Amino acid sequence: MARVVVDVMLKPEILDPQGQAVANALPRLGVSDVSSVRIGRRIEIEFAGEPDLATAREIADKLLANPVIEDFSIRVEEQAGDAASVSA
């Protein structure tokens, strides 16, 4: 079994006040060489059978991301547990 991972990020031109708040907190950790932090969202979709990229893309396009302000990328991720069981 495999899962489809969707990463949703605000478009570069959209201000990310949460990311800015995190970046502004970094000096308190003693970190001073970070120029920018942007926060996105990772969504894991488990299909009952084979991963269906076309369906995942439709889900991402219609629901997971708002195309007005966000971009998304999709990939299939092999699960570590499965890999171990295959090698065993």
Residue among 14, 26, 34, 53 that touches other proteins (CB under 8 A): 14
User: Do residues 76 and 54 make contact, with C-beta atoms less than 8 angstroms apart?
Assistant: no
Binding mask 31-70 for other proteins (x = CB under 8 A): --------------------------------xx-x-xx-
Please state the φ and ψ torsions of residue 9, each to the nearest 5 degrees: -130, 145
Does an H or E element contain 74, and which? strand 70-78
26 binds other proteins (CB under 8 A): no
Residue among 1, 4, 6, 21 that touches other proteins (CB under 8 A): 21
